Amino acid sequence: MPKTFRVVILASTRGTDFSAMLEEKNAGKLKGVEFVGLVSNKPCLAAEKAEAANIPTFVLDAKSKDFQDKLLATVKELQPDLICLVGYMRILREDFCKAFENKILNIHPSLLPKYAGGMDLNVYEEVLKNKETETGMSIHLVTPVVDGGAIICQKSVAIADGETPESLKEKVQQLEKKWYPEVIRWFRDGKIYF
């Protein structure tokens, strides 16, 4: 029997991209992939979705002084082949990045290196303020340098006249929902390796 490809999700928000991953899994498009845990730094909709799907869910208190140590210990125990950040609104400590080097993915709502370090609607506001003609999303490896890891997948969308940060976010999230599961398949199938 082939080895299961173990994926851990780190999330802090609604889990829009996580929902897309679950839909692909339920449709049989992520064969061999098992979501072995979702770890959050606070109660959130993504954690509720994981619980509803019977995925082990861990909500850690980000305000506790040993939060980073608990995060590292919890994820190590889950023995992931890949860690996917999905709206995870925390910076990972260097020892965490090193413990799972080349196994942590993040999705960023811009065409990196543009707008690195920004978050959510702030990124779209900056994109519009700077009169960009296109934007998009980047799936990249997580390193101790915020948004500085190797880009694995990058897709763009055109910016229409009258676009708002909210409408732009919706367009970019459509790309994210399509491509994040695809990148998981690339790692599962050994198409990306280090």
User: Does residue 147 contact residue 112 with C-beta atoms inside 8 Å?
Assistant: yes
Write out the two tokens for 28: 């049989």
Active site residue 140: no
- Per the residue annotation, which of 108, 140, 169, 188 is the catalytic one? 108
Per the rule left: phi > 0, alpha: psi between -120 and 50, beta: everything else, 102 is left
Q: Which residues are catalytic?
A: 108
